[in-house]
Amino acid sequence: MKLVLFDLDNTLLAGDSDYEWGQFLIARGVVDRHHYEAKNRAFYEDYKAGRLDIYAFLAFALRPLATHPRAELEAWRAEYVETRIKPMITQAARDLVKRHMDEADLVAVITATNSFVTAPIAREFGIPNLIATEPEEIDGRFTGEVAGTPCFREGKITRLEAFLEARGSRIDCLENSRFYSDSHNDLPLLQQVQHPVAVDPDPTLRAHAEAHGWPIISLRGG
C-alpha cells in the first residue's frame, strides 16, 4: 500500500492553523487580547524551539472550546477558514495533494493541531483522512481536555499506528510511505517512513535533511 502523509502547519499551509485560530479568537473578542496573545505567542515560540509542553499548551488551547456553544464555535470556525486559512493555501500545495490523491492508496493529514480546527482544512484540500489531536467531548460539548494521546512528536507514530490498525492495515506499510513536514518536531515519524520530505523546513530539520540526503522542497511559490 502506498501511504502519503502530510503535516499541516507550515507544510501544506503557509502558516500555523493553531496559532492563527488563537489570533482569530483574539480579533473576534472571544478571549482577552493581552493575556491570550502573550500565551499564544509564547507557546508558539516553544514549539518552534522544540521545548513545547504539549499538555500545558492543550490545556490553554482547548479551553475556549469548552466555554462556548458548539453552534457558535462552528460559525466562528467557518469564518476563520475563509479569512485566515484559505489565504495560506498555495497553488503548489493544492497541486501536490492532488497528485498524491491520484496515485496513492491512502492519503492523510497528520497534525498536532486539534481536529475541531483542522477537519475543515483537510476537507478544503480534498484529503479524506485526518489524524489529529482529539479534544474530549461529552454529550456533544467539549470539555477542554484532550482525548487520548496528543498527535505530537512520538505521539504521531502512536496515533498513526492506531489509525492503520483501525483500517485493518499494518504498520509495515511505512516501508512504502512518504511524509511531508516542515518541523524538527516531526523527526520521530520522518525517520520511520521510507520517503521523508522536508518542506520549507526549519533550520534543525533542514540540517538533518541535508545530512541524510532527504529531498527539500518549497510550497510557498504560488
3 state SS of 173: helix
pLDDT for the residue 78: 98
Read off the pLDDT of residues 8-41 as tens digits, 9 standing for 90 and up: 999 999 999 999 999 999 999 999 998 899 999 9
Confidence category of residue 1, pLDDT binned at 50, 70, 90: confident
How many angstroms separate the CA atoms of 143 and 121, rounded? 23
| Count of C-beta atoms within a 10 Å radius of residue 81 | 18
Of 170 and 188, which is predicted with more confidence? Answer: 188
Residues forming the active site: 7, 9
- Reported as a single tens digit per residue, the pLDDT across 80-109 is 999 999 999 999 999 999 999 999 889 999
Q: What is the pLDDT, as a whole number, of residue 19? A: 92
Which residue would you say has higher pLDDT here, 114 or 172?
114
Res. 171 pLDDT band, cuts 50 70 90 = low
Q: What pLDDT is attached to residue 105?
A: 87
Cell of 204: 534543525
Q: What is the model's pTM? A: 0.95
Ordered structural domains, the chain, with CATH: 3-217 (3.40.50.1000)
Residue 221 above 80 pLDDT?
A: no
- DSSP states along 116-138: HHHHHHHHHHT--EEEEEEEEEE
Percent of the chain at pLDDT above 90?
90
User: What's the mean per-residue pLDDT of the chain?
Assistant: 95
Q: How far is CA 193 from the centre of its chain?
A: 18
222: pLDDT strictly greater than 60: no
